[in-house]
């Protein structure tokens, strides 16, 4: 018998690893997502540090809808009384109860939207003035704007070491004169009525009511001498320390004056 037939049979098995083992690409996708998230985070932190408060407000307004939607309804009473769903709670009857109808028909609705857009355009023009000079750029740190149901509110406020009035008086600081002059010139772009108000922090002055009325009057006078028609200013109000903006009530940020361009019809 040949000895060659008694040799052991050796079977070689080759292990095939799907996806290339440690050379697969799944980890690269996860790493790329991580790097993208970190880049976005650092860009956000840089923007927060490199922009002023009013610039951040402008960025936020850019992403906000320009036409407000009301969740109130003027629909009919009862179950299934309307033909289309207009609010959270009530079905609106076709041709009745809409916002335009309540305010005087479709023409009034279009006019209201145009008025809001005009105020937003003015807001953009106002915030864009900040780059005209270094003095104005520094002054813009003490100005913010916001759209409300009443209209466009332009607010000037105290910062640490940078008050807008001489302490316990109604005499405006130069920064206030600079900002009011700029506001008055930009307001010439629209014809809306104007309301002026003044506020102080708690504990500011012995007669906060008189002081805020005097400060509001000083702002009104500055607006008039810098080009605003007197008949456009329909309201001047002193709120003393009764309407704080931030807590605590003694916070310096509560020392402020506001110039509001009222929506048409208010």
Given this model, what pLDDT does residue 120 score? 86
Q: How far apart (Å, rounded) are the C-alpha atoms in residues 212 and 147?
A: 23
Contact 252, 224 (CB under 8 A): no
Q: Does residue 125 lie in a domain region?
A: no
The pair of structure tokens assigned to 55 is 């610039």
pLDDT band at 20 (very low <50, low <70, confident <90, very high): low
Q: What is the mean pLDDT of residues 165-185?
A: 94
pLDDT band at 214 (very low <50, low <70, confident <90, very high): very high
Q: Does residue 123 lie in a domain region?
A: no
| pLDDT, tens digit, 9 for 90 and up, residues 41-71 | 888 888 888 777 767 776 776 666 544 444 4
For residue 123, count other CB atoms closer than 10 A to its CB: 22
Phi/psi of residue 141, nearest 5 degrees: -65, -20
pLDDT at 160 exceeding the cut of 90? yes
Residue 55: partners with Cβ closer than 8 Å, 6 or more residues away: 127, 130
Q: What is the DSSP string of 46-82?
A: HHHHHS-HHHHHHHHHHTS-SS-------PPSSTT-S
pLDDT at 87 exceeding the cut of 70? no
Give residue 195's domain range: 133-266
Task: Give the bridge partners for 85, in sequence order.
Answer: 91
pLDDT at 176 exceeding the cut of 50? yes
Q: Does residue 9 lie in a domain region?
A: no
Given this model, what pLDDT does residue 184 score? 94
pLDDT at 77 exceeding the cut of 90? no
Q: Does residue 204 lie in a domain region?
A: yes
Given this model, what pLDDT does residue 135 score? 80
Contact 152, 261 (CB under 8 A): yes
CATH number of the domain residue 138 falls in? 3.30.1330.60
Question: Higher pLDDT residue, 26 or 195?
Answer: 195
Q: Does residue 197 lie in a domain region?
A: yes
Q: Does residue 38 lie in a domain region?
A: no
Q: Does residue 252 lie in a domain region?
A: yes
Percent of the chain having pLDDT more than 70?
71
pLDDT at 235 exceeding the cut of 90? yes
pLDDT at 111 exceeding the cut of 60? yes
pLDDT band at 153 (very low <50, low <70, confident <90, very high): very high
pLDDT band at 15 (very low <50, low <70, confident <90, very high): low
Q: Does residue 261 lie in a domain region?
A: yes
Radius of gyration, CA atoms only, the chain:
31
Q: How far apart (Å, rounded) are the C-alpha atoms in residues 261 and 266?
A: 10
Which of 135, 177, 190, 170 is closest to 255 using CA atoms?
A: 170
Q: How many domains does the chain have?
A: 1
Q: What is the mean pLDDT of residues 141-166?
A: 93
Q: Where are the alpha helices (DSSP H) in the chain?
A: 26-50, 53-62, 99-102, 106-128, 134-139, 174-187, 208-225
């Amino acid at each position: 018998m040949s000895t060659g037939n008694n040799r052991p049979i050796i079977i070689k098995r080759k292990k095939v690893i799907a996806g290339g083992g440690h050379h697969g690409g799944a980890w690269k996708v996860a790493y790329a997502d991580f790097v993208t998230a970190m880049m976005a985070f650092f860009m956000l932190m840089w923007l927060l540090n490199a922009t002023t408060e009013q610039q951040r407000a402008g960025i936020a307004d850019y992403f906000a809808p320009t036409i407000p939607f009301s969740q109130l309804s003027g629909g009919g009473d009862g179950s299934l009384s309307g033909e289309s769903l207009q609010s959270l709670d009530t079905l609106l009857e076709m041709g009745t109860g809409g916002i335009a109808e309540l305010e005087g028909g479709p023409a009034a609705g279009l006019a209201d939207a145009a008025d809001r857009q005009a105020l937003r355009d003015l807001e953009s023009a106002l915030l864009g003035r900040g780059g005209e000079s270094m003095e104005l750029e520094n002054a813009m740190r003490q100005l913010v704007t916001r759209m409300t149901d009443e209209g466009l509110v332009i607010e000037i406020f105290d910062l640490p070491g940078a008050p807008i009035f001489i302490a316990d008086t109604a005499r405006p600081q130069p920064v206030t004169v600079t900002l009011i002059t700029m506001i008055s010139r930009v307001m010439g772009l629209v014809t809306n009525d104007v309301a002026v108000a003044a506020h102080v922090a708690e504990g500011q002055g012995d007669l906060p009511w008189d002081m805020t009325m005097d400060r509001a009057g000083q702002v009104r006078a500055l607006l008039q001498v810098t080009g605003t028609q007197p008949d456009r200013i329909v309201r001047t109000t002193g709120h003393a320390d009764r309407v704080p903006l931030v807590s605590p009530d003694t916070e310096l940020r509560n020392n402020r004056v506001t110039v509001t361009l009222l929506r048409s019809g208010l």
